[in-house]
Amino acid sequence: MTTLLQRGVAEAEKLPAADQDAIAVRLLAEVKDERQWNDRFAATGDDQWNRLVSEVRREIAAGHTHPLDELVPPEESPE
């Protein structure tokens, strides 16, 4: 277990039981979702990746994309 997770668990242990259970439900759902994503990603074959690459290239060529900086401007760094 990482130090950060240990700190989180230690803080959660200080909460009432109902709050602990609510956090546990969210954490377990997140772990399940992460496992499912990893399984889907690992099961993606070369043909699927090649189709995706082709589709992205067509969208770029057709002008249906925008630079990421236009959609989500970079955060200004504090001075």
Distance separating alpha carbons of residues 60 and 54, to the nearest angstrom: 10
Residue (of 4, 36, 73) closest to 12 by Cα position:
4
What pTM did the predictor assign? Answer: 0.61
Burial annotation 42-68 (CB, 10 A radius, 16+ → b, else e): eeeeeeeeeeeeeeeeeeeeeeeeeee
Please name the residue that has the structure tokens 């925008």.
66
Percent of the chain with pLDDT over 90: 82
Domain segments of the chain: what residues?
Answer: 19-65
Please name the residue that has the structure tokens 């200080």.
14
The average pLDDT across 28-53 equals 96
Answer whether residue 76 shows pLDDT above 80.
no
